[in-house]
Amino acid sequence: MIEVKTKEEIELMRESALIVSKTLGILAKEVKPGVTTLQLDKIAEDFIRSEGAVPGFLGLYDFPNTLCMSPNEQVVHGFPTDKPLKEGDIISIDCGALKNGFYGDHAYTFAVGDIAPETQKLLEVTKASLYVGIREFKFGNRVGDVGYAIQKYCEDHGYGVVRELVGHGLGRKMHEDPEMPNYGKRGRGKKFVEGQVVAIEPMINMGTHRIKQHNDGWTITTLDNKPSAHFEHDVALVNGKPELLSTFAYIYEALGIESDEEHEFRQQQLVL
Ligand code: MG
Ligand code: MG
């Protein structure tokens, strides 16, 4: 059942989402060759707690850390390690925070130093597909419309769309109804309703869409060991339109990137 949120609850969810956004902005400055993902995890946990929130993933389904850290061929759900990042890596950082009873949950894939042009393209296309999907999260549409749009966009670029892992409703629980696959058919699935909040999160592989799950019970990698990218935003349906609750603005500020990509999805001005 879809848990509809009141206007007040959506504002609380915005607060949780922005704590995650700020965390990712702090990490953006720290992602560089030589840093370990465990060091980044500590920075994130300290910041989230300093905001009066708790890490959303820590202990969830027994996950042992604050951040899901998935470098290169890892798709999602990797955990932090003491292995340093190196030039040319990419690292998907997925972060959750819980405050006032509501979760924020979003993710960004960072380049570590200079990366190969084909990997850069994978990041750009995956992030663009996130907005292609968000654009379909509107009154009158259904779950399949979002999935179809993301799948078509990514497959047109020759990439593989992961099937086994999906986006989700978000609220008092990290994973609420409905499931939000990054593939699908137009006009299929549950109809969107005013006041619902979803996490849309394309997980896109440079090669095959097929994946393998590792014996640690968490790590998921591409079957062909080619890179995989992951971007995620939290979005509410407000006035029949998508309203972004999370932002990459803190990341862009840290990295000196100018972008107006979020502009069309914001009915309320973002105050950084
Ligand atoms: Mg996430
Ligand atoms: Mg999620």
31, 112 contact by CB (below 8 A): yes
Q: Which ligand is nearest to the CA of 169?
A: 2
Quick: pLDDT tens for 194-219.
999 999 999 999 999 999 999 988 89
Full set of structural domains in the chain with CATH: 7-265 (3.90.230.10)
Quick: pLDDT tens for 34-81.
999 999 999 999 999 999 999 999 999 999 999 999 999 999 999 999
Question: What separation in Å is there between the alpha carbon of 232 and the centre of ligand 1?
Answer: 6
- Cβ of 149: how many Cβ atoms within 10 Å? 22
Q: Which ligand is nearest to the CA of 199?
A: 2
Q: What average pLDDT does the structure give for the chain?
A: 97
- What three-state secondary structure class fits 260? coil
Ligand 1 being an ion, which residues bring their Cβ within 5 A of it? 94, 105, 107, 232
Question: What separation in Å is there between the alpha carbon of 107 and the centre of ligand 2?
Answer: 8
Question: What separation in Å is there between the alpha carbon of 201 and the centre of ligand 2?
Answer: 6
Which pLDDT does position 269 carry in this prediction?
87
Which pLDDT does position 73 carry in this prediction?
97
Peptide linkage before 202 cis (omega within 30 of 0): no
22: Cα within 13 Å, side-chain hemisphere? 18
DSSP helix, strand, coil percent of the chain (3-state; round to 5)? 30, 25, 45
Q: Sorting pLDDT into bands at 50, 70 and 90, what band is 271?
A: confident
